[in-house]
Amino acid sequence: MSVALDMRVEPVLELVSNIAAADRKRMALRDIEDGLRLWRLGCTLGWLDIKLRYRGSLLGPLWLTLSTAVMVGGLGILYSTLFKTSLRDYLPFLALSMVLWNTLSGTVADACVCFTSAEGLIRSARLPFTLYAIRMVVRNVLVLGHNIVVIIAVYALLNVWPGWYSVAAIPALALWLVNALAAGMFLGAFCARFRDIPPIVASVVQIAFFMSPVLWKPDAIHGTYRVLMDFNPFFTLLEVVRGPMLGYMPPLEVWVSAIFFSGLLCALAWMMFMRVRGRLAFWV
Amino acid sequence: MTVFQSGAKIDVSGVSVSFPLYHGGSRSLKKTMFAAASGRLGQDSHQRVVVEALRDLNFTLGSGDRLGLVGNNGAGKTTLLRMLAGIYEPVLGRVRVQGSVSALLDPNLGMNLELSGRENIMLRGMISGLPRSALPRLEEDVQAFAELGDFLDLPVRIYSSGMVIRLGFALATAIRPQVLLMDEWFLAGDSSFMEKARSRLEDMVRGAEILVLSSHAAPVVATWCTRVIWMDQGRIRDDGPPEEVLERYLGYPVQIPPPAPAILPAA
């Protein structure tokens, strides 16, 4: 005879139609709360996603590290020649920029499909939607974890270390986590409804890559243009992590801009999620 | 503030569920925006095809109730099960389900075919909210029933269809809920396996405080249910004791199988 595994909790599931704003708000809050409580499951799901992606390949997730290393090495030699700077000066900048930018653009692209790619699970069990956003964030954190090896290798190779300022990168990375979660809720819901959003998002990120100082250093620009750059959320969010890791503290206006745009994204995500959470199961 | 919760309970009042059917242009932001720009948005939103899957349902179930859902394909039975499981939320009305719920809706139920059997067991346990300490016990239980041997560490994708069913069934029946929502696929399957599955399934059904079973097989419903709801085009067409409702649904009286009932019709 089988061992009965009784479910331990005796929960009350109460579903009301999502017409009253107060109900919508309460249910969305509860979704986020429940989702955060299930972080462990989110981590497992994200970890399995990465494991599956590289299952059966020779190097596994180390392919990520290798391809980033090759790209950073190649671009480093090319651009330090083009920009006529020393490799020692340029390579740490480039390694950080590329790894961080790849994380940012990868997360944005992944955020678009964070609900649609979980269709099977969404339709088979009631789980908080926040869980899928957490799962997406975990996936991308793991990818970043593999790429960080390249940054450390570059530091070690050139024997340049960022020093104590790098501690400031920790709150900046926490800000990235919040943003990634918000991006998942916002873009994930938006893209579940309108299937032509992901290509639009991809081209916006592509343009942002060339318009932001990723390959070139921010101090290559002066005057009015430099001021305008603080209104580019891609730049300021990149800079709050990159600056400390390169051994300098980004100026206050960069921090203010990064925090302002993060707040804006969170507000957008909340409004979107609150409005459409109840419909997501029908859309995916 | 503390409410004494005595057993499971389901309360459905005034519930409607409708599906928007997005097709072609309505999936596209570009087309929606152009429609808005040319002042056709209002019209467009009315042109959207909406399927009213459930319409104004009202019923309550208490501990000990066994509800059978009958009706033609597309009558809304599966949608109703999904709604009770909390997957779909009502567009109108409210649903209150007290007690742990398990929905056996499709054999693969959230199984990831790329993952190994063992990983699927672990995931399923976590999704059902089992404490970590119970996961080894779940694995043991599923392993004993599914008899997969060394296949447990291989991806489910390479299993034979019989092995997938055994694993899916073992997983679904390993965790005992208070409210059991069951679709009829569970009663279909190859007969040699079902022979083995019978006692496990019967155990589970007996253990549940509330059973909601959707089935086409009148004898199964007549045997296991104490109440039958006949669904028709998303509405409740009839609601009452099994013999009466089934007779009206089928147009002839049902043979209630003898006591010591078998949940499954003999193969």
For testing the chain A interface, which of B15, B48, B89 should be mutated: the one with the most A CBs within 10 Å? B89
Q: Which residues of chain A from 173 to 202 reach within 8 Å of chain B, CB to CB?
A: 193-197, 200
Nearest CA in chain B to A23: B94
Cα A178 from Cα A99, distance rounded (Å): 19
Report the candidate in A230, A207, A208 with the shortest Cα–Cα distance to residue A218.
Answer: A230
pLDDT single digits (tens) A114-138: 999 998 889 888 899 999 999 999 9
Least reliable range by pLDDT among A52-66, A226-240, B69-83, B186-200: B186-200
Question: pLDDT-based confidence at B42, cuts 50/70/90?
Answer: very low
pLDDT at B129 (0 to 100): 82
CA B191 to chain A, closest CA, distance in angstroms equals: 20
Nearest CA in chain B to A48: B115
Do residues B216 and B70 touch, judged by C-beta distance below 8 A?
yes
Question: pLDDT-based confidence at B186, cuts 50/70/90?
Answer: low
Helices (H) and strands (E) in chain A, counts: 12, 2
pLDDT at B260 (0 to 100): 46
Handedness of CA B156, B158, B161, B167 (dihedral sign): negative
pLDDT at A78 (0 to 100): 93
CA B249 to chain A, closest CA, distance in angstroms equals: 29
**Burial classification of residue A124, based on how many CB atoms lie within 10 Å of its CB (0-12 exposed, 13-18 middle, 19 or more buried):** buried
Cα B23 from Cα B8, distance rounded (Å): 40
Between B56 and B43, the higher pLDDT residue: B56
Strands (E), B78-158: 92-98, 101-104
Q: Alpha carbon of A115 to those of A131, B150, B262: distances in Å? A: 10, 34, 41
* Residues of chain A neighbouring B109 (CB-CB closer than 8 A): 124-125
Is residue A2 predicted with pLDDT exceeding 50? no
pLDDT at A5 (0 to 100): 57
Beta-sheet pairing, B175-176 with B92-98 = unpaired
pLDDT single digits (tens) B220-243: 888 888 999 999 988 999 999 988
Question: pLDDT-based confidence at B74, cuts 50/70/90?
Answer: confident
pLDDT at B8 (0 to 100): 87
Q: Alpha carbon of B5 to those of A142, A172, A283, B64, B161: distances in Å? A: 43, 46, 35, 15, 42
Between B216 and B188, the higher pLDDT residue: B216
Q: Cβ contact (<8 Å) for B95 and A14?
A: yes
Q: Who among A16, A41, A200 is closest to B127 (CB)?
A: A41
Q: What percent of chain B has pLDDT over 90?
A: 22
Cα A140 from Cα A50, distance rounded (Å): 9
Report the candidate in A119, A147, A115 with the shortest Cα–Cα distance to residue A134.
Answer: A115
Question: pLDDT-based confidence at B202, cuts 50/70/90?
Answer: confident
Examine the predicted complex and report whether its ipTM is higher than 0.85: no
Q: Who among B29, B90, B174 is closest to A17 (CB)?
A: B90
Nearest CA in chain B to A39: B126
Is residue B263 predicted with pLDDT exceeding 60? no
- What number is the average pLDDT over the span A165-174? 93
* Residues of chain B neighbouring A15 (CB-CB closer than 8 A): 83, 86, 89-90, 94-96
pLDDT at B267 (0 to 100): 39
Question: pLDDT-based confidence at B40, cuts 50/70/90?
Answer: very low
Three-state DSSP state, B124 = helix
Between B249 and B39, the higher pLDDT residue: B249
pLDDT single digits (tens) B100-141: 888 888 766 678 888 899 999 998 888 888 888 889 999 998
Beta-sheet pairing, B92-98 with B9-21 = antiparallel
Question: pLDDT-based confidence at B39, cuts 50/70/90?
Answer: low
